[in-house]
Structure formats: structure tokens, C-alpha cells
Amino acid sequence: MKKIFLLIAVVLGFAATKVNAQQQNTVRFGVKAGVNLAEWQGETINSAQNLIDMTDGSVSRKMREGFHVGGYVSIPLGTGFEIEPGLQYSQKGTRLIGKIPIEEVEFLNANLTLTNKAEYLDMPILAKVYIGEGFHIYGGPQVSYLISNKVQAEAGALGFKALNREWDMKDGFREIDLALTGGLGYRFASGFNVSAGYDYGVNTVDSRGSFETYNRVIKASVGFTF
């Protein structure tokens, strides 16, 4: 994890220094962090939904909670318009939760949770359009590199965990993920900013093409532009 943060700092620091040398008073460097709500959409999720329907709700889908953190360089190209390349670490994936559908043992609260824990290095290139003072809309392409992909299985009853196992599942998953990302934000005069956006994956997470499943991520961020 420390190596990821160091890579983000070095790459963005180099980019900011290089561009600032050319446009010292116009280009600004920023950092941001926030929460992710991630899931998959596509054939795999349709199959999971069929399972949910057949089990009368004893299996349920949940979004995987995670976070993102990184930095960006804001490059103004005209009044109210900026290009913003960035680099950030981001957690994605999905989650399934199952419970024993037997009324007589409901008091045990026995359950099994399967979580896909994917970690990506996102590289968005955003176009920002400012509408009024501080308020802006943004969008653009995003290339992501799969750093790690694991599946975690947890099972327990009565609040105690009987199983907590995690294994590597990077093999078979696409290393390069492409997405369209966009959202809304507001930047205060101090440089503090807030934003909310959505990542829409456009290629499948499966590298073999055996199933059509795509990353989807809701993001809420806070940041500071220096």
C-alpha cells in the first residue's frame, strides 16, 4: 500500500513540476480522497439475481464499500474550462451475502459472505466545465490497472466467525480496465472541493470473455487544489 501511495506522489509530483515550469501561474496540483460503493453489472450479476430469486431472498447482493485516494493536475485551457489528468488508488468489486433459510435456526444468524476485493490504479483524464462560481461538471475516459484481485469468504453464527479466508483471484481477470467517468463538483475559493461521480466500465472484467461483467463505482470525494 505504501508503494502505491509513493508511486502516486512521485508521478503526479513530476507532472506538476514539469507543467508548472512552463505555466507557473496557471497550472495547479491537487489531492483528493473519498469513499467508493462498487458493484458488478452484467451476466454474472444476472445469474446471481436468479439465485436470489430462487432462494426467496436468503441470498442478497451488496455493494462493496471501499475508498480512493490520489492526486491530479488542473490545466486551464480557457475561461471556465480545464483538463485534469489524475492518478489514484481505488477499491472496487462486489459482494454476495447468504443466510440459512430455515426458520428453526434463524436465532443462530448463520451467514456466508463472499466479497470480491479488487484494487486498481485509476488514471482518469477529465474535462471540467465551470458553471458559475465554483460549480462544475466533469467527464472523460479512465484507464485502470488491476493491482490485486482477491476473494474473501466469511462465515459465522451468533456473531462469531467460523471462517475467514482470502485467496488470490487475479488470474483470468483483465489487467487493463476502461471506463467512462463523470459527475458534479464544487470548488471553493480556498481550494477545498467536493465532488460526486460515477465510473461506468466499458470492457469486461473477465480477460477470457467467458462472461460479460463490468465494473460500476459510485464515488464521493473531498479534495484540495493548491
Closest to 119 measured CA to CA, from 177, 71, 163, 165: 177
Domain 2-225 has CATH 2.40.160.20: yes
Contacts for 201 with CB less than 8 Å, ≥ 6 apart: 177, 178, 179, 214, 215, 216
Closest to 70 measured CA to CA, from 19, 132, 122: 122
How far is residue 199 CA from its own chain's centroid?
7
Measured between alpha carbons, how far apart are the two ends of the chain, in Å? 25
The domain spans of the chain are 2-225
Residue 132: predicted pLDDT? 85
Q: List the pLDDT tens digit at each of the 226 positions of the chain.
A: 555 545 555 545 554 444 443 444 589 999 999 999 999 988 766 655 555 554 555 667 889 999 999 999 999 998 899 999 999 999 999 998 876 554 543 545 567 788 999 999 999 999 999 998 899 999 999 999 999 999 998 876 656 666 788 989 888 899 999 999 999 999 999 999 999 999 999 999 988 877 788 999 999 999 999 9
